[in-house]
Structure 1
């Protein structure tokens, strides 16, 4: 198949393609037409911005193309023409539009803004929306930036088990994995489940942390990290809890707390700067439609020196703040979200390391 030009290439290397014949493939975001010509907005997934296509009645399949629905897949061949007076910087004047797959009129993603609750009902289609396209491209860049950061510091990436018999430091409730028949579990003489009959011959679970598995590698490679899926069977139903998430766990030999904090701060700043530099369109979308002021806050974090405070100092600050918290403050209690937010947003106005927690 002839190589297709991507929408990203057209936006990043426009001068190279202007007034030349190009061939692009993508999915119809919107379409409107008249008797003599029509306009199509195309997305190929390579770039956040979309591409406008102008097609005319000179095409043999003009009528068929005019009747296409949102979501249809097409391959367009035509001339890339600059449009400096229009909203978009250029458009393709189509010579041909090949229909690779036509969608039906009841295609659920139309040219309007859909709620997240609605999109949750169609996980197979929601990556095509602006919101989810931006989310997953940024997530991809974050994952790459994490690896890039550690590789530049000569860390070794270690894959730790997803299925494990260990509960790393009692980190949380675990999802159990078993091949035993649930309707007829084998039992021991004392009435307990006989896991010797299970696949691994013992009770196994989904990992809550790769830390225990990666620590021995630090005794060989010195600086290592694991980055992968983690599972917690905690039915908390809050924005701060998830049953499945990806966790970064570095381990360093011959390092102290200061070294740990330096790596954490440097990593966060590195990731923020990488995403702001490599996904400006997606971040501008988030800043405008999802979380106003996001970019300013991220730049503030990336440009700030993180604060440092001991647990005892933090408690004193909270006690002397004069603020009434939902969770009362006293020495020995865990810091709650409201306490952490007060320290970061009101006192330090930047991220803060809290050290020297009491052992018990």
Structure 2
């Protein structure tokens, strides 16, 4: 029976017999024995193994081990005399499971750039930083489900292939069995409709989540989404994961409360349960990261309206690349100015102009704005976007016509407003942006296992 290294280092008792599987990080020979550093991906720290020269395969195999080799080690756990480690494993058996030629293995003992590691995405999770990202991402995923399950939300699996464009931006990947050799409208005409109508990869599970919210009450969906947007920024991906809760009998104020509570819950959980990995990010990726996240947990979030935000930006003694005026969609530079230089904390911005928001958001009494909210955080900008949904049939119908939406195709969505309609709200949290914020990684490509961006789809 094998044990994970994180358990051995934290719970292993000296004098106990242990067997561990892992990969060699380094080997150092001294006198008649060798020191091996073994890691199995369960934690940042390595397990030091003492390999005596009396082992039967010492000369032929152990002294030829190099970074990347896979081994199974058995022996006795003993107190370590060295600083920085409580225990070490004194091996009485080391089996070489898989060799890694040091002349070919690209991850030798030196620091590699993240740009280089993207070129070997099949090996990059073996590095300290990317391994830590993976563990933090896993914990955050667990935290998302735990948060909602503790509060009696039901998880809904919304379709990956959909016939509805939630955002109405036309940035969906078309699903077809035909080879498309044309572009634009000609391509749409050429596509053979496998599902009997035009279909694409989902940009959001929100509309389908509303169906279940108006039957089960509080629901959430957590799955992959896709955008055919040719953006090469450090904040955008073509494939990414979205957390999308939808709550019946819920207004915009309660919606914001849940978003704030959820974010604080996730940050608290990861700081408590991923301490070693978070220390790595705090020390090497973003100085002061842990303090920044703790302040988010401790402080109340700010609240301003879109109109108030525009007034602040117009008074700013700063030249923005994108000019500011009422009715524009806030850019990342505007969002970061508000959170980093003015309010210096996470900030809810509400009541955006209806002209720049999707048709499903509830129209306010002024007829110009909608009950929308974006949560902006320092260093990232928008991390959550949500709204109270339009529950009034006539208003929704008019908004859909104004947006040029085929009301027949969305007849099912209108039906929800005919049969027991209630106020309901929800939001979307881009999971990769959350991971990026928590780890301090500068580029979003580092926080998803296999980044898909325009012109790039490794593995």
TM-score of the pair, normalised by structure 1: 0.93
Query: Is this contact kept in 2: 1:195–1:201, CA < 8 A?
Result: no
Counterpart for residue 308 of structure 1 = 303
1:359 corresponds to 2:367: no
Please tell me the root mean square deviation across aligned C-alpha atoms, in Å.
2.0
Counterpart for residue 251 of structure 2 = 256
In the aligned structure 1, how far is the partner of 2:308 from the partner of 2:85?
A: 55
In the aligned structure 2, how far is the partner of 1:182 from the partner of 1:336?
A: 34
* Structure 2 alignment gaps of length 5 or more: 356-459
Report which stretch shifted further, 137-146 or 5-14: 5-14
SS at match of 1:216: helix
Q: Which is bigger in relative contact order (C-alpha 8 A, separation at least 6)?
A: 2
Query: Is this contact kept in 1: 2:226–2:239, CA < 8 A?
Result: yes
1:117 corresponds to 2:112: no
Shift of the 285–184 alpha-carbon distance from structure 1 to 2, 3 Å rule, reads closer
Counterpart for residue 65 of structure 1 = 62
Counterpart for residue 349 of structure 1 = 344
1:297 corresponds to 2:292: yes
In the aligned structure 1, how far is the partner of 2:71 from the partner of 2:105?
A: 16
1:138 corresponds to 2:136: yes
SS at match of 1:326: coil
- After superposition, what is the alpha-carbon deviation per residue over 1:102-122, rounded to whole angstroms, capped at 9, x for unaligned? 221221111111111211121
Report which stretch shifted further, 160-169 or 311-320: 311-320
For 1:263-274, list aligned pairs within 5 A.
263-274=258-269
Shift of the 309–193 alpha-carbon distance from structure 1 to 2, 3 Å rule, reads closer
- After superposition, what is the alpha-carbon deviation per residue over 1:155-182, rounded to whole angstroms, capped at 9, x for unaligned? 1111111111211131451111110244
1:169 corresponds to 2:164: no
Report the CA distance between 1:45 and its aligned residue.
1.4
Report the CA distance between 1:145 and its aligned residue.
0.6
Query: Is this contact kept in 1: 2:178–2:191, CA < 8 A?
Result: no
Report the CA distance between 1:318 and its aligned residue.
2.0
Shift of the 47–192 alpha-carbon distance from structure 1 to 2, 3 Å rule, reads closer
* Structure 1 alignment gaps of length 5 or more: 186-190
Shift of the 172–130 alpha-carbon distance from structure 1 to 2, 3 Å rule, reads farther
Report the CA distance between 1:348 and its aligned residue.
1.4
Query: Is this contact kept in 2: 1:167–1:207, CA < 8 A?
Result: yes
- After superposition, what is the alpha-carbon deviation per residue over 1:226-274, rounded to whole angstroms, capped at 9, x for unaligned? 1111100111111222111111111111110110000100111011111
Query: Is this contact kept in 1: 2:303–2:348, CA < 8 A?
Result: yes
For 1:45-60, list aligned pairs within 5 A.
45-60=41-56
Report the CA distance between 1:277 and its aligned residue.
0.7
- After superposition, what is the alpha-carbon deviation per residue over 1:332-355, rounded to whole angstroms, capped at 9, x for unaligned? 222221221121112211101111
In the aligned structure 1, how far is the partner of 2:203 from the partner of 2:215?
A: 24
For 1:313-324, list aligned pairs within 5 A.
313-324=308-319
In the aligned structure 2, how far is the partner of 1:195 from the partner of 1:107?
A: 46
Counterpart for residue 81 of structure 1 = 78
Report the CA distance between 1:324 and its aligned residue.
2.6
Runs of 4+ that moved beyond 3 A: 181-185, 191-198
For 1:95-244, list aligned pairs within 5 A.
95-105=92-102, 106-182=104-180, 197-244=192-239
